[in-house]
A = this chain, B = another copy of it.
Amino acid sequence: MEARTIDPARMSDLEARIAALEESAPRRETEKCDSVSIVCFSGEWDRLFAVFTIANGALALGQEVHLFFTFWATAALRDEEKKSANKPLMNRLLGKFLPRGAGRAPLSKMNWGGLGKLFLGYRMRKHGIGDLDELIEKAREMGAHFHLCDTSAALLGLDCDELIGDGCIDPCGVATFLGKAMKGRMVLFI
């Protein structure tokens, strides 16, 4: 019976090698998790439309979605109705120059003082394409994570109590966001 000649050392070696493989396997597994992240930088209406179209597409595909609003795009999170009570004069002035909410953002091209956007709105209604506000609402309902770049908020004088979403928007630093984004399948800068 040749079977007797099997060396236990050979067996132990196999066991050690399998353990090594198993140990490295879960690490590989968690390396890529099912998430899509978008750095939202530009505050223009058309680019925000792209952000939320992609976000909702990814949510529909079962991805976790992280949106990091920074610089000009932070203004897209402002709530039309809400006003921050005790805001310094400078921040209040600054707020006058930034669009109050995504719906009021201008087009990046062919805006023509708002006429281009009116025309686009008309085309969208005609073709039954949902408005930007509906897309944002849908993204929130489907559980997209909204992150507000804390540096940009300070820079542009944005207070958390003037934002949409009743406190669901979490201010965070870029490293925190990057840590999440890097594990995902796809990161875009829009």
Q: Is the beta-carbon distance between A182 and B22 smaller than 8 angstroms?
A: no
Given contacts A21-B18, A186-B182, contact A53 B151 (CB under 8 A): yes
Q: Mark A1-26, 1 if CB is under 8 A from B, else 0.
A: 11111111011001101100110110
Please report the C-alpha to C-alpha distance between residue A182 and residue B34 in the assembled complex, in whole angstroms. 9
Given contacts A14-B15, A110-B97, A189-B188, contact A174 B129 (CB under 8 A): no
Please report the C-alpha to C-alpha distance between residue A39 and residue B49 in the assembled complex, in whole angstroms. 13
Binds B, one of A54-62, A79-87, A139-147, A162-170: A54-62
A67 at the interface (CB under 8 A from B): no
Which A residues are closer than 8 A to B by beta carbons? 1-8, 10-11, 14-15, 17-18, 21-22, 24-25, 28-29, 31-32, 36, 39, 41-43, 46-47, 49-50, 53-54, 57-58, 60-61, 63, 70-72, 97, 108-110, 120, 123-124, 127, 129, 151, 154-155, 157, 173-175, 178-179, 181-183, 185-190
Please report the C-alpha to C-alpha distance between residue A108 and residue B187 in the assembled complex, in whole angstroms. 22
Q: Is the beta-carbon distance between A50 and B41 smaller than 8 angstroms?
A: yes
Q: Is the beta-carbon distance between A127 and B154 smaller than 8 angstroms?
A: yes
Residue numbers in B under 8 Å from A185 (CB-CB): 182-183
